[in-house]
Amino acid sequence: MPDAEYDRNNIFARILRNEIPSTRVYEDDEFVAFRDIAPAAPVHLIVIPRGEPPTSPAGLTEADAGMVGRLVLTAVRVAAEQGLSERGYRLVMNCGDHGGQSVAHLHLHVLGGGPLGPVA
């Protein structure tokens, strides 16, 4: 799946511009983490890069390796701050329609707070 053109009016871009409210749990110069409005687990957070990242994992290149590493480390930090480290959590990055991606802005889900069951 080739990376789609970035839509500056996608919901995450609008959250970043504070046009849509969110319950932020973390932010720095590069990333923002907030609670999902339709949680799939007792704790369901979304971690997004600021700016205009690739629209999906399919659009990542070698040049994005550092950012993606920091994205994962930020998700791990947020999970720890939310008390998820001891019992465990799941990090999920969806890609495309068949992968369950609903917003065309690279993002990482942090799911935890209870048993999640098998993935496949």
Q: Identify the active-site residue in 44, 98, 105, 107.
A: 107
Percent helix, strand, coil in the chain, to 5, is 25, 20, 55
The answer to whether the CB of 105 falls within 8 A of the CB of 13 is yes
Q: Whose CA is closest to 4, among 92, 74, 105?
A: 105
Known catalytic membership, residue 109 = no
CA angle 68, 80, 70 (to 5 degrees): 15
Positions marked active-site? 107
